[in-house]
Structure 1
Amino acid sequence: MKLFSFFLSIVLTLTLNAQNTALQDSIYQNNLYATSKIEFENYEKQHGKYIETNNVKMHYLTWGNPSNTPLVWVHGTYSNGYELLEIIDSLVKKDLYVIAIDYYGHGFTPIPKKEISIYHVADDIKFLLNKLKIKKTIIGGWSRGGSISTAFYDAYPSSVLGLILEDGGSVAWDVNNHKQQIDTYSKETEEYYKNRKENTYTTEFDAYWLLYNNWGIKGKKDLKLKKEIFTCIARIKKSEENKWLINPGVEVITGEQNAEQDLANIFKPFAAKELFGASTHLLNPKIIYRNLDVPMLIFDPLSKNDWYDFEAENTKLTQTYPLLITHKIYQNTWHGVKDERPVEFLKDVDVFLKKLKEFYKKK
């Protein structure tokens, strides 16, 4: 009995210590979030801008000298232009004029009332470039942002200097989803949606606290944490019911509100409810890049739990255009290369920019 009481006291002590640590962290993060919001608002005044395109009032960020080589960056799903914050100073030092857009439902760009696709975002980017009097740009993006970059190249090839694709855009999304996998994939998808948490919060910090504890933010420090906080501030919105939401409306336009919609995007996109989500799945880089004529840098992260295993298809594409494509494989790296391996990411971008310069010298 004494031994049991001894072990029970240890368990209770550890539990109380853990609860106390979590409480202290919550108080610290709450204060940090509040002070970061003030810094964010000042930063937004300096770098944030809006443009009324034919589709939407689009928010975008700019950094650097407008006379330098332009780089348009397109963020991934549930992210926004602030995803570049950790590496932006280094990119600007490479003599780049960086433009990071927010597409529909992300950051500070609303969702248009009309039907839209990833090609509409490409049109928005072209509209912005015309207003800024930029004839050609490097365009790049992460995940769905890579797909939008590919759509831009498809629609406006003469406006592209080069492409930087971070785990998206170089390979069709569903290349590995074969028919024999439908049953297994359906079960996994249905399980995911069944266990998904409600996206409504009483306070703004409650929404951030959920992201902090569940989206890989906890444990980050300094500029990495600042980037995450800024990105989260741009994600979290207040509803008409005075509740706080994370990326409200995004799951509607991507067609990811439930398992049925998600599976329709993958296995029958022509019949899918939302064109924006379906257009991502319908994109076929094999066709779009059949006559590739500009340099391309592919970031291809590989890990045990890889969302998108594109290595084989990326290798085939690179073999087709060995002089144009640089295929960088990152072992033991999850979906976001620039987040996990920023130093190497920047080195590879630097090498690519030198290659780009040489390419246009010879033309």
Structure 2
Amino acid sequence: MTAGGAGRHRFAAALLALLLSAFALGGCSAVQGAASLPDTGAGAAGSGEVAAAGPDGTPAAPGEEATSNGGSSGDAAAPAAPGEGEASGAADGASDAAAAADNAAAADQLTVRFIDVGQGDCALLTCGGETLLIDGGPSEASSKLYSILKSLGISRLDYIICTHPDEDHCGGISGALNFASCGTFFCSVTEHDTRAFASVLRYLGQVPVTVPAVGDGFSLGAAQVTFVGPAQRTCDTNEGSLVCRVDLGEVSFLFTGDAGEESEEAMLAAGAQLDADVLKVGHHGSAGSSTERFLADVAPDYAVISVGAGNSYGHPADEALARLAACGATVLRTDVLGSVVAVTDGRDVQFQSTKGKLEN
């Protein structure tokens, strides 16, 4: 194995161990298979198997991992032979240094949890100790978000992006704010005549609502978040959804809220940078979003659809699914997979799911 290959092997092992032991939430369904980015020619590499995800998209509980080196968890270490202490100490020192390097790399990894909130949108992003919540699902998801943040020990959301004030995107944010404080709150509007949005504003307290301009952005740990839409303002809340891309190294995510054809065409005309490895599909996969021209520009390898099972809107629409298939994207649906978790180190991305399996 080359030095580079050994480094990647150590990182993969550390990443897997981190995911398996970080949070103690059990009772998960096993993931049978893994989805990884294909080689793009830009240094992205395929990833190996990943751990099962626990309830609400958190990694599996400790104790479910396989024992390394073929031994059982009860195996005792053999005593060192005479004269081996110095060599053993040197080896331990090298191992500690390698572990420290792996931990430093892991601290800069980006985790994106596409939380299953039924018929709504919600994503929780963490990187380098900083957190970003993009939408919160409907009001009935409030208690779920509260529980997830509590389980993860996240008492502060550095950033919240409410893509638009519709209840299925903003309603659950109140639950998040009931547990965690907010640093900066972004939204497409500063006021809206719905009880759900009014509740969010009450929980925000003195935190102002910031309406970002295209091109505005901020750092999330080692990742960069940039607003790329809407390219034109509109009274339609869906078409006025905030659209942002999140970049870490060579891997990018695009979050589109409920943007439809009107917003997509405006972004294309404005020359927005839309290419992304992972697309959060607009408007739950409605027929009026994810147009051919838009998908050709984004060219996603993966498309996550946040949607409720058996919803009355018929989401995702067959037309949208056909267009996603035609562009070669692997579709990951929360109504089928439950919460979907993506983890990237900026070179490749691994996926987990709370139920079902990931189809390549």
Q: Which is bigger in relative contact order (C-alpha 8 A, separation at least 6)?
A: 2
Please state which structure has a larger fraction of its residues in strand: 2
Q: TM-score, normalised by structure 2?
A: 0.29
Q: TM-score, normalised by structure 1?
A: 0.29
Please state which structure has a larger fraction of its residues in helix: 1
